Amino acid sequence: GNSVTQMEGPVTLSEEAFLTINCTYTATGYPSLFWYVQYPGEGLQLLLKATKADDKGSNKGFEATYRKETTSFHLEKGSVQVSDSAVYFCALSGFNQGGKLIFGQGTELSVKP
């Protein structure tokens, strides 16, 4: 079945450091891929998405490229801020799955001043 695997956290960085959170997936066909962010005590917010191979999703300085050859969708940001501290979830929606999302376990990011 479909699944998503994320790098384990927590990840602790200093402000302005480069961020990479790895995400790989297993799926049949051509899933859509997503990154969501969750701030403490809140729901999830869609950060970015990509719907086909080689697409790059981007938002608020974050980027991720849909790599079908490596079944990956790694999240990157060139210079993190303290306000980026949150939990990040990688997710996929399989083809013909009616929008149902399968999530990775989440990666907690803590950015120190």
Positions that interact with another protein (CB under 8 A): 32, 34, 36, 41-46, 49, 89, 93, 98-101, 103-106
Closest separation between CB of residue 99 and another protein, Å?
A: 4
Closer CB to another protein, 17 or 65, in the complex: 65
Report how far residue 76's alpha carbon sits from residue 82's, in angstroms, rounded to the nearest whole number. Answer: 15
Closest separation between CB of residue 43 and another protein, Å?
A: 4
Closer CB to another protein, 17 or 59, in the complex: 59
CB neighbour class for 8 (10 Å; exposed up to 12, middle 13-18, buried from 19)? exposed
Report how far residue 71's alpha carbon sits from residue 64's, in angstroms, rounded to the nearest whole number. Answer: 12
Closest separation between CB of residue 24 and another protein, Å?
A: 15
Q: How far, in Å, are 41, 49, 67, 78, 90 from residue 30 at the CA level?
A: 33, 14, 11, 28, 16
Report how far residue 55's alpha carbon sits from residue 99's, in angstroms, rounded to the nearest whole number. Answer: 19
Closer CB to another protein, 7 or 17, in the complex: 7
Closest separation between CB of residue 85 and another protein, Å?
A: 16
